[in-house]
Chains A and B, each alone.
Chain A
Amino acid sequence: MTAAVDKAAPVAANRERARSLAMLAAIWGVLALAPFWMPYLGGYTALGTRVLVLGLGAMAVNFLLGFTGVLSFGHAAWFGLGAYGCGLFLKFIAHSTPLSIVAGTLLGGVMGAILGALIVRRRGVYFAMVTIAFGQVFYYIAFQWSSLTGGDDGLRGFQRAPLDLGFTTVDILYNSTAFYYFVLICFAAAAAVMGFILRSPFGRTMLAIRENERRARFLGIPIELHIWIVFTLSCFFMAFAGSLYALVNNFADPLGLHYSQSGNFVIMAVLGGMRKFWGPLLGAAVFVVLQDYVSSLTVNWQFFIGLLFVVVVLFFPRGLLGFFQQRVQS
């Protein structure tokens, strides 16, 4: 009996591994070839770039929400700060795309780390409310400080700089396909780091906190410190995505920090499946593409986006990936 189990387990594990490898290959294949197949489905490269960037944002939100169980509803603030950091760097300091991304990521991440320390003891709805409110603080700063940020008109007057690789320069400004691949590489790097953290022992404690905070505390895990670290990491990922977003549009505006944007990120994560690593990316793809098409069909597209929220919450609380997996298993 036990021997049979012992024998079966590696087989099942192997099959599991093969399946996840196949899935990984499929995901990267689809992403890498996107500029070639999208036009046939009525897509366009800029849309693909947007999916990647917003998908990364949703994955960053989910890093906190799906794997630690902490709901931040003000994460757009870090996204927007990343965008402003990146844009301001390009505009005023140096004309370098990689450095501007670093600058944006640092700005959003560090602000997130500071704010996180203040609110890390709050939980549940209260945490959500406090994050919304703090997010709005940054929204107002971006909105009001017009001499620096351009206020409601947004920050303009910067452009992504060509990439200097030493032996050649890549034009990512006018060549939208080249820019897509640049974003894809950034996305892959961030996803790899995220995956690495989740597989590490630290990642396991995140799950432990999500599953039962009290038990984790009894096990001697310093909960507040851990949540703060996860929150901070998540803010850095978010700001990284925000920096890329500034490069996508060559523009940053206060709406990127608004709580409605936070809501969009959360719904992307939930829609795709928040317990799944790739769920948020799928959610972002569905959300962005749906929004893009529905808003061309009807002026009342917001109604349908709202409806999507309602349908997801009521019928797909485990997200599309969770839903499909359930179907496959049963």
Chain B
Amino acid sequence: MNQPKPPTIGRRTVLKAAAAAGVAQVAAPFVISARAAETLKIGMINPFTGVYAAVSNNELIGAKFAVEQMNAKGGILGRKVELLTEDSANDVGTGVQKARKLIDRDKVTFITADVNSAIAQAVAQVTNEKKVLHIVPGGHTDPITGTDCHWNVFRVCNTTAMEANSVAPVLFKKYGKKWYFITPDYAFGHTLEAAAKKDLAKMGGTVVGNALTPLGTTDFSAYLIQARAAKPDVLLVLPQGGDMINCMKQIAQFGINKTIHVAGLQQEEESLIAMPPASRVGTWMFEWYWKQPGVPHVAEFVADIRKRSGGHVPTARTWFGYTALWSFKLVTDKAKTLDAVKLAKALGGLELPPQIKLQPNKVYYAAGDHQLRTSSFVGEAVANPKGDPEDLFHIDTVIPGDKTSPPDTETGCKLTWPA
């Protein structure tokens, strides 16, 4: 009968605890600045909300995994690595502000940003001003490592020119020389289309028309009516993300792929997953693919990522994030310094080891334009996969980055180093 009274946890106590936890959460960013700089911070800015949320998340999964591996191997120069993420919300102003926040307040050593090419370029302006080493994981527009290049900015994903050069010859040889373009009306689309047109002209083909579609187009029927009336051999679908999905859904429903060969220069696992089977048609280029039998370390990488992504396979985006983060570690190990200029000099020409590159050919950052020369995976979309439901692409050829990219003397990049 004389049992001790159980401690009563009243509503107030719970509320207090919750409030304290809440305050701790909110106060966290205030506290970070006060902590001693024993960890080495890397900032990642990406549009985690908005239309690029899915691909941004995959880049984050790859980046986080890279940090986990690095810390297991003693971090960078003996310091533990911490990854700080900021949402650019697909808005350049926000992206720039977040870059200043990461550099000024959080004192990050490296920056990786952004899926959106425009934000990547704007952030590059800030990182250049602040002399911070910056790797662009997944913004494709050419000037980043071309006419608008900076000594401190490197890029993992392909340029639009590399994408065009990888697929164009295949399409021309296999499917015909009259092409029609459906092009998203912004820098990415313009440069992609221009590159493909250049290739086509060189091979002796003709452009029978093009439709410029605004970003965020939901209904492509009017453009598709135009396209079919032009009677091309190949219809090139260049929009990405949600626009790509909407366009391919309508192409399949209209049966356009029965009379015209549908293709494009870039396709992503994320988009194919979001399409119904009937829309998964055509010839495309993937920037990385998870199923590469016989290539060392790929299977382990896929298994490790599955454990961290709720069972999903890594996509090209996962690999971009992973590679961008590992590049920081590789170059600091090589140069044994945190001086941005020395690191940038060392990163130019750096070749990725097999456990990072996860593909057959030689992969390296070109010293002249800071663009990673990475392979293109050209093949066909798979409507109904037999094995894994996420095995949605069939690779025909893997073309090394040296073949798809012009030499770094011809990309329009002139690096000016700080005195």
Residues of A within 8 A of B (CB): 39, 41-47, 50, 143-144, 146, 150-154, 156, 174, 176, 245, 248-251, 253, 255-256, 292-293, 295-297, 299, 301-302
Say how far A152's CB is from chain B's closest CB, in angstroms: 4
Q: Is the interface of A mostly helix, strand, loop or mixed?
A: helix
Which residue from chain A places its CB closest to the CB of B87 in the assembled complex?
Answer: A295
Question: Which of B10-18, B98-106, B352-360 binds A?
Answer: B98-106
Pairs across A and B, CB under 8 Å, 23 listed:
A39-B33, A39-B105, A42-B30, A42-B31, A42-B33, A44-B101, A46-B100, A46-B104, A144-B185, A146-B185, A152-B118, A152-B215, A153-B121, A153-B187, A154-B122, A174-B129, A249-B122, A251-B93, A251-B96, A253-B92, A253-B93, A255-B91, A297-B26
Q: Is the CB of B187 within 8 A of A151?
A: yes
Instruction: Establish whether residues B91 and A299, one from each chain, have CB atoms under 8 Å apart when the complex forms.
Output: no
Minimum CB–CB distance for B200 against chain A, Å: 22
B49–A154 CB distance below 8 A? no
- The reply to whether B185 and A152 contact each other, CB–CB distance below 8 Å, is yes
Given A42-B30, A44-B101, A46-B104, do A251 and B48 touch, yes or no (CB 8 Å)? no
A46 touches B101 (CB 8 A): yes
B interface with A by C-beta (< 8 Å) = 25-26, 28-33, 48-49, 84-87, 89, 91-93, 96-97, 100-101, 104-105, 117-118, 121-122, 125, 129, 141, 185-187, 190, 214-215
| A156 to B190 alpha-carbon distance, docked (Å) | 17
* CA–CA, A148 and B190, complex, Å: 15
| Known A-B contacts A44-B104, A156-B121; A256 and B26 likewise in contact (beta carbons under 8 Å) | no
For A302, the closest partner residue in chain B by CB is B49
A54 to chain B, nearest CB (A): 10
Contact B29 A251 (CB under 8 A): no
Distance between B81 CB and nearest chain A CB, rounded to angstroms: 18
Q: A46-B100, A302-B49 are in contact. Are A153 and B117 (CB under 8 A)?
A: yes
In the complex, A43 Cα to B85 Cα: how many Å?
17
How far, in angstroms, from A301 to B94 measured CA to CA in the complex? 13
Q: Which residues of B contact A295 (CB under 8 A)?
A: 86-87, 89
Most buried by B among A47, A50, A151, A297: A151
Q: Within the complex, what minimum Cβ distance (angstroms) separates A261 from chain B?
A: 9
The total of interchain contacts (Cβ-Cβ below 8 angstroms) comes to 99
User: In the bound complex, what is the Cα–Cα distance between A299 and B191 (angstroms)?
Assistant: 31
Residues on B with C-beta less than 8 A from A146 are: 185-187, 190
Give the complex CA separation of A308 and B56 in angstroms. Answer: 26
Q: Find out whether the CB atom of B118 lies under 8 angstroms from the CB atom of A253.
A: yes
| Given known A-B contacts A45-B104, A46-B101, A297 and B91 have beta carbons under 8 A apart | no
Give the distance in Å from the alpha carbon of A297 to the alpha carbon of B86 in the complex. 9
Given the known inter-chain contacts A251-B96, A302-B49, please indicate yes or no for A152 contacting B101, CB distance below 8 A: no
A43 to B105, CA, bound (A): 7
The CA-CA distance from A47 to B93 in the complex, in Å, is: 12
Neighbouring A residues of B104 by C-beta, 8 Å: 44-46, 176
Q: Give the residue name and chain of the B residue nearest to A301 (CB).
A: B87
Flag if B29 contacts A249 (CB, 8 Å): no
Complex: A44 Cα to B104 Cα, angstroms: 7
Interface centre among A150, A153, A176, A297 (most CB of B within 10 A): A153
A292 to B93, CA, bound (A): 12
Closest beta carbon of chain B to A8's beta carbon, Å: 44
Task: Give 5 new A-B contacts, CB below 8 A, not counting A156-B118, A251-B93.
Answer: A42-B31, A146-B187, A152-B185, A153-B118, A249-B92
Instruction: For the complex formed, measure the closest distance between the CB of B282 and the CB atoms of chain A, giving whole angstroms.
Output: 25
CB distance from B225 to the nearest CB of A (A): 21
**Which B residues lie within 8 Å of A47 (CB)?**
97, 101
Report the bound CA distance from A296 to B97 in whole Å.
12
Give the residues in chain A near B118, CB-CB below 8 Å.
152-154, 156, 253
- The closest CB in chain B to the CB of A260 belongs to B91
Please tell me if the beta carbons of A44 and B25 are within 8 angstroms of each other in the complex: no
B101 surroundings in chain A (CB, below 8 A)? 44, 46-47, 292, 296
Q: Chain B: which residue is nearest A173 at the CB level?
A: B129
What residue of chain B has the Cβ atom nearest to residue A246's Cβ? B93
Question: If the complex has contacts A295-B87, A297-B25, A299-B87, are A249 and B96 also in contact, measured as CB distance less than 8 A?
Answer: yes
B329 to chain A, nearest CB (A): 24
Tell me whether B93 and A249 are in contact (CB under 8 A): yes
Complex contact A152–B30 (CB within 8 A) = no
Q: A42-B29, A42-B105, A174-B129 are in contact. Are A253 and B91 (CB under 8 A)?
A: yes
Contact in complex: B30, A41 (CB < 8 Å): yes
Query: Whose C-beta in chain B lies nearest to the C-beta of A250?
Result: B125
Known contacts A42-B30, A253-B118, A299-B49: A151-B105 contact under CB 8 Å: no
Can you list the 9 inter-chain pairs with the closest CB atoms, starting with the nearest? A152-B186, A42-B30, A153-B118, A46-B100, A44-B104, A153-B187, A44-B105, A299-B48, A253-B92
Chain B contacts of A152 at CB under 8 A?
118, 185-187, 215
Q: Is the CB of A151 within 8 A of B185?
A: yes
Q: Which of B30, B86, B100, B185: most chain A CB closer than 10 A?
A: B100
Q: In whole angstroms, what is the CA distance A39 to B186 when docked?
A: 38
Per the bound structure, the CA–CA distance linking A43 and B30 in Å amounts to: 8
- CB < 8 Å: which of B32, B84, B93, B122 contacts A156? B122
